[in-house]
Amino acid sequence: MQMRKLGSQGLEVPAIGLGCMGMSDFYSGRNEAEAVTAIHRAIDLGVSLLDTADMYGPFTNETLIGKAIAGRRDRVVIATKFGVQRSGDGGFLGVRGDAAYIREACDASLKRLGVEHIDLYYQHRVDPQTPIGETIGAMAELVRAGKVRFLGLSEASPATIRRAHAVHPISALQTEYSLWSRDPEAAILSTVRELGIGFVAYSPLGRGFLTGQIRRIEDLAADDYRRYSPRFQAGNFQKNLDLVSEVETMARKKGCTPAQFALAWLLARGEDIVPIPGTTKPARLEENLGALDVRLTSDDIARIDRILPPGAASGGRYDEAQMQSLNR
């Protein structure tokens, strides 16, 4: 497995990690046994970075990962997040980043995961009501207490990243980044690179859209949240499908699948970028890892920039309300 460094504090992870959210939430067809099998296969293949959050499930995804890594703790890097509050029935209660909440959230995550420390602890969304200094200060206390090894932020603005990094070194920023979500290229990537912070790309396959496996909205189950995502709505769906057709054409010329092409593009953006595609199927996991063998030329990159420039995707990443929580 190719390895990459996140930040300059010593955190090393595989070039491709595993996003575990869909194993417990938001997507349909969830099966715990299948998910555990996928995690075990990932570990065997060297995909040791497992990404979760306390709000996935809610709360059940961390428990699932805890079961899956029992007896394998020394072979994995666990990344989890706090900050997005949810009730037991799944309702969203807002964002919190105050010190008391962070200490409580960390202890709860440690218990659900069944571990003594979290390798990479992210603030899931920035709390506009709490100074970032207080939030990072509380997270730094967890590092000193041995409960957390490295700190991260998710969907934070350049100004917030700078203020946070000044309080305690930030090892990774996790933000959506893919062929159809190139927003980080405007200011985020240059900021984290200046500060020596690694970049973890979530939804690197456009929530599955870039794989070419979704041809109609009816391909998604009735309870799949993507049915309500702006980019999957009727008018946007076909426009985005046309973009995927271009990706499929380029992938065929490279002798790879669309998913491998999309991941190879991300990997080529820099040695400091680590995508975390999610799947519950070992075959898809192995397909994704094939991206490590795909080499894109300067001509390939130039064609992508012509066909899929920043802003090419039709529709927002989230609905209007959720977009308000980004780039704070």
* DSSP SS3 for 219: helix
115-126 core/surface letters (b: 16 or more CB in 10 A; e: else):
bebbbbbbbbbb
Contact 266, 204 (CB under 8 A): yes
Q: What is the rounded distance in angstroms from the CA atom of residue 67 to the CA atom of residue 62?
A: 9
**Ramachandran category for residue 170: left, alpha or beta (phi over 0 → left; psi -120 to 50 → alpha):** beta
35-55 core/surface letters (b: 16 or more CB in 10 A; e: else):
bbebbebbbebebbbbbbbbb
Outline where DSSP puts E strands in the chain.
Answer: 3-6, 11-14, 18-19, 49-51, 77-82, 84-86, 92-95, 118-123, 148-154, 172-176, 198-202, 273-275
Q: Which of 56, 121, 122, 177 is catalytic?
A: 56
> Is 202 among the residues known to form the active site?
no
| Side-chain half-sphere CA neighbours of 60 within 13 A | 16
Q: Which residues are annotated as catalytic?
A: 56
